[in-house]
Structure 1
Amino acid sequence: MSEALVAVETPGAVVPGVSGARQFWRRLRAQRAAMVAAGVVALLVLVALAAPLLTALEGQDPNTYHSSLVDSARGGVPIGSLGGISGDHWLGVEPQTGRDLFARLVYGARVSLGVALAATVVQIVIGVVVGVSAALGSRWVDQLLSRFTDVIVALPLMIMSLALLAIVPSSFPRPVLVALVIGLIGWGTIAKIVRAQTLTLKQLDYVAAARLSGWGTWRIARRELLPGIAAPIITYAALLVPSNISAEAALSFLGVGVKPPTPSWGQMLTAADVWYQAAPQYLLLPAGALFVTVLALTVLGDGVRTALDPRAASRLRVGTGRKREAKA
């Protein structure tokens, strides 16, 4: 009954259930750029998960020093062409230390993607709880939570993260700490989205029918409202991940993120800022990995948004056309 009412109230939206999932996948497959981006993201996740296997195939690990592979007389520049690329070191070695760049790059993918995904989960959970509580609570609860959310949104993420990360003991696991800090500071926008969407859904007939049938507030929220706000939550989550990857890289670049010897793309960029002339691959590899990851996740997030709400025009026109969008 509820699904039928949703279909009447919001024509063109993806209806929860099997048919809604089929509509979503059909619309997503119609967007070539989004499918290519999904393939790139899947490959990056596979590389991150298979990092131990890949480094074992190469015969290296991310933390072993190879002092014989760098020229100490020249300040630690890798010996050989293209940064020391060889059959034993597929992408060359790190200046000064001689650590294998391929191993550090694939293990860095685990840290960067893991921190970003964990931070996104924290942001979504807090944002949904606060947003729904504000929309369904009393006037004073709504005012209190809304003003608190405004304060969180106004906080500068980088400055607050720098302050919090600087005072936490170094014994605390750094990747976990970075994910928590980013998540605890960045949930304000999703809370505002959830609150606005919940206030809209409260006015629909199927929610009023559930209220008249005697359902409690939180049962209505769980059974009727949460499925209705799933689409904007999924969309925003897909767009949060690349933002969180950039935030983790920026914090590591500033020296307060993931600490050595744990590899991270942002940390690699920090150490590479003085080697861009002598060993350019040391800078280009993590920078390129970050660029490709953020671009792919952004395009995929935009594709998910368009597939969930076909009435909204895509912000990224790469690989899409008006006729294809109209057919989808």
Structure 2
Amino acid sequence: MTEALVASETAGAGALTASAPVSGARQFWRRLRTRRAALVAAAVVALLVLVALGAPLLAALEGQDPNTYHPHLIDSARGGVPVGPLGGISAEHWLGVEPQTGRDLFTRLVYGARVSLGVALAATLVQVLLGVTVGIAAGLGNRWVDQILSRATDVIVALPLMILALALMAIVPAGFPRPVLVALVVGLVAWGGTAKIVRAQTITLKELDFVAAARLSGWPTWKIARRELLPSLAAPVITYASLLVPTNVTVEAALSFLGVGVKPPTPSWGQMLTAADVWYQAAPQYLLLPAGALFVTVFALTVLGDGVRTALDPRAASRLSIGTGRKREARA
């Protein structure tokens, strides 16, 4: 009954509607599997997660370590260019070695996936937790609470993310773990968008009959939020979170590229790009490998997020033309 009331009140509300979540995982899966691009993207993301989790196993399989120097594989007469074809690719070094240091590129790439994906997921979790808490509190609070929290959210949204992150990370002691710091800073600075969306959905939902009935029953505000609002907010929150992950991957790479993110010797794709900017002619694979990994990750997460969004809310049209033809939309 609750889902029917929410759906009838919010029909045609747009991409992030205040609709109740779909009736079950089976219905969601049926909609998602009609979008082949989203399924392919999900497979790519799953593979990347497996690579990140299995980085020690993959490194042991190759027999290399991400931080071990191999000076004998570097041609010092040529300025530190790797010895051998294609950047030193061999049976011992599957993707070659770094210029100047001789560190194995394959192991640094797979360990870098751990940092990039782990930081992005942790930052997204912080954003969602803060955004949902502030958004529900603003939507259910009185006029003064709503005004204070809404103005604070406006300030957070207006702040330039990269500049504020650079400033915060510059004053933190060097001993603090950088991946944890990057995740916290990005999450604490960029939760405003989530809060705005949740507040708007909460204001719409609290006018519906099932929330009014809960209030008339004497339920406290926290119980109404937990029992009635959170299930109905699941679809827009999950949708927005799935689109935040690729953004946070890019932000982590940008901070590492600017030299304030993950510090050496911890491998990170953004940090690898920073070190590779002077080697794009002498050793192009050093630049192309982390750049390609970053591009594939962001693209796959974006396509998957779009597929999740349209599967959770079939009234919303896909932003991407990939895998969203008329036949697929009709079947959905």
Q: Give the root-mean-square deviation of aligned CA atoms.
A: 1.4
1:165 lines up with 2:172 in the alignment: no
- Take 2:10 and 2:255, find their aligned partners in 1: how far apart are those partners? 42
**Post-superposition offset of 1:5:** 3.1
Q: What is aligned with 1:237? A: 241
For these two proteins, the number of residue pairs brought into alignment is 327
Q: What is aligned with 1:2? A: 2
Q: What is aligned with 1:130? A: 134
1:42 lines up with 2:46 in the alignment: yes
Q: What is aligned with 1:212? A: 216
Secondary structure of 1:229's match? helix
Matches of residues 186-205 of structure 1 in structure 2 within 5 Å? 186-205=190-209
Q: What is aligned with 2:115? A: 111
Which runs of no fewer than 5 residues in structure 2 stay unpaired?
none
1:121 lines up with 2:125 in the alignment: yes
1:148 lines up with 2:121 in the alignment: no
- Take 1:205 and 1:136, find their aligned partners in 2: how far apart are those partners? 15
* Partner of residue 279 from structure 2, selected from 260, 275, 281: 275
Check conservation: 2:20, 2:235, Cα contact below 8 A. Answer: no
* Partner of residue 290 from structure 1, selected from 294, 297, 322: 294
Give the 4+ runs in structure 1 shifted more than 4 A.
10-17
Which amino acid is the alignment partner of residue 164 of structure 1?
A: L
**Post-superposition offset of 1:9:** 3.8
- Take 2:311 and 2:329, find their aligned partners in 1: how far apart are those partners? 10
**Post-superposition offset of 1:16:** 4.3
- Which has the larger displacement, 7-16 or 266-275? 7-16
- Take 1:182 and 1:15, find their aligned partners in 2: how far apart are those partners? 29
Q: How many percent of aligned residue pairs carry the same amino acid?
A: 82
- Take 1:163 and 1:137, find their aligned partners in 2: how far apart are those partners? 33
Which amino acid is the alignment partner of residue 80 of structure 1?
A: G
1:251 lines up with 2:264 in the alignment: no
Secondary structure of 2:280's match? coil
* Partner of residue 34 from structure 2, selected from 30, 36, 60: 30
1:319 lines up with 2:332 in the alignment: no
- Take 1:254 and 1:217, find their aligned partners in 2: how far apart are those partners? 44
1:52 lines up with 2:63 in the alignment: no
- Take 1:176 and 1:207, find their aligned partners in 2: how far apart are those partners? 38
Q: What is aligned with 1:85? A: 89
- Take 2:10 and 2:137, find their aligned partners in 1: how far apart are those partners? 24
| TM-score between the two structures when normalised by the length of structure 1 | 0.97
- Which has the larger displacement, 305-314 or 20-29? 20-29
